[in-house]
Structure 1
């Protein structure tokens, strides 16, 4: 059974809620899914999944949530080369912050690209100013992502 890891960067639980809500969609598609609240670089290198989904909220002025900072530092410091990593990204933010809207998700996307990872489909950016419940946008996006990328294996 193929594996999917959902790596979560969250401050107040919104990104974790999205991860938990989309998990059954991937299980129904035939994946063994794990949700990682404190991800490490080893989660995508040493024990690499067949597919990864990042659910990352933005804090402050476009910053990563505290639980995700060590992952990003490892990624920057070790430059592991992630040519085998296929991923999707859900970025959560608040457009009232202007230019830093979804800043953490956008920066993560750039870092992963620099390491050779392959993003499947467009990044989903969810705006807290427009969407009260982030999973209202995330669930249909994931359903579409699974269909568009032919990710269903079961």
Structure 2
């Protein structure tokens, strides 16, 4: 069974809630799913990862949440080759912050692509000003992502 890792960057639990809500969709598509609340670079490099989904909220001025900072710093310092990594990004933010809206998700996306990873489809950006419950936007996006990227294995 292929492995999907959902790496979560969250401050108040919204991104973790999204990860928990979309997990059954991937299980139904034939994946073993592991939600990582304290992700490390070795989670991607030291064990098989057939697919990764990043659920990342933005804090402050476009910053990574505290639990995600060590992961992002590790990517920056270690510069692992991620050419075999296929991934998606669900970025959570608040458009009232202007230019830094979904800044953490956008920055992560750039970092991953710079390391050779292959994003499947477009990044989902969820605006807290428009969507009260982030999973209301994430669930249909994940369903479409699984279909459009032909990710179903079951």
Q: What TM-score does the superposition give when structure 2 sets the normalisation length?
A: 0.99
Give the aligned partner of residue 47 of structure 2: 47
Instruction: Judge which range, 44-53 or 86-95, deviates more.
Output: 44-53
Partner of 1:66: 66
Deviation at 1:47, TM superposition (A): 1.0
CA distance in 2, matches of 1:152, 1:118: 18
Partner residue in 1 for 2:129: 129
In the TM superposition, 1:7-22 aligns within 5 A as: 7-22=7-22
Unaligned residue ranges in structure 1 (runs of 5+):
none
Structure 2: gaps (5+ residues): none
* Superposition deviation, residue 81 in structure 1: 1.1
Indicate the residue corresponding to 1:103 in structure 2: 103
Q: CA RMSD in A?
A: 0.4
TM-score by length of 1: 0.99
Partner of 1:28: 28
The Cα shift of 1:132 comes to 0.2
How far 1:48 moved relative to its partner? 3.3
Secondary structure in 2 matching 1:110: helix
**1:68-83 → structure 2 map (5 Å cutoff):** 68-83=68-83
> Which residue of 1 is the match for residue 57 of structure 2?
57
Measured in 2, the distance between the counterparts of 1:100 and 1:149 equals: 29
The list of structure 1 runs, each at least 4 consecutive aligned residues, that deviate by more than 4 angstroms after superposition, is: none
Counterpart CA distance in 2 for 1:102 and 1:135 is 16
Aligned length: 154
8 Å CA contact 1:5, 1:33 repeated in 2: yes
Judge conservation of contact 1:48–1:85 (CA < 8 Å) in 2. no
